[in-house]
A and B are shown apart, each in its own frame.
Chain A
Amino acid sequence: MGIKVSAKNISKSYDGNAIFKDLNLVIESGDFVSIMGASGSGKSTLLNALSGNDELDQGSVYFDDVNITILNDKDMALLRKTKLGFVYQFFNLVQTLKVKDNILLPIYLKGEHFSNVKPHYENLCKMLDIKDLEDKYPDQISGGEQMNLQVIWIVTPLLK
């Protein structure tokens, strides 16, 4: 399916300590990759580098053949909004929005209306069996469920 992300000779250090040096990595499109390592092994730094959340000391990261290392903030923000989804260990649902609006947040941020994605949204809810949660607020569902729902953000930017 081709290459989704590739890192070429990337280096990063903090306060003079090299986190990684001349690292090369290729991730194929459609892959489900786990980066494993002990605390301090550099795995979070690597993820931040691959997703353009952190500047590199050396090397380049390509996303869909675009060198994201040289993108300005505006173009990087656009890429993040349209092609990337982030899920954090500690859930970050917006507490004042219903579950449905939380799921659709990436759509609203793109300036699109719900009607544009309605069939896809309904398909998503059906697939994950979450129809009975959509009108609840985050504090009315369990922490585990909030965490599960945040995972949906990896695909909502793609709904069209």
Chain B
Amino acid sequence: MEYLSKLHKEYQVTIIQVTHDASTTEYSDKIIHLVDGKIKD
């Protein structure tokens, strides 16, 4: 995650990650919760 965060900052790439581990979302700007195929705000 540290590399991913560094690369995100340095190269300003857009990152979309899929996870069920909340600890990996600490570097995210935005979290989308998907429940039964629907986005929960």
Partner of B34, one of A37, A50, A128, A158: A37
Partner of B32, one of A1, A35, A44, A151: A35
Partner of B31, one of A5, A34, A154: A34
Chain A min CB distance to B38 (Å): 7
Number of interface residues of B (CB under 8 A): 34
> Contact: A154 with B15, CB < 8 Å?
yes
Partner of A23, one of B11, B12, B29, B37: B37
Instruction: Tell me the B15-41 residues at the A interface (CB within 8 Å).
Output: 15-20, 22, 24-25, 27-39
Q: For the complex, would chain A's binding face be called helix, strand, loop or mixed by DSSP majority? A: mixed
Complex CA gap A128/B33 in Å reads: 31
Q: B4 — nearest CB in chain A belongs to which residue?
A: A151
Number of interface residues of A (CB under 8 A): 40
Question: Within 8 Å CB of A19, what residues of B?
Answer: 37
> Contact: A32 with B30, CB < 8 Å?
yes
- Interfacial residues, chain B to chain A (CB-CB below 8 A): 2-8, 10-20, 22, 24-25, 27-39
In addition to A36-B34, A151-B7, 12 A-B residue pairs with Cβ atoms within 8 Å of each other are: A20-B37, A23-B37, A32-B28, A34-B30, A34-B31, A36-B32, A36-B33, A39-B20, A43-B20, A43-B34, A51-B16, A154-B7
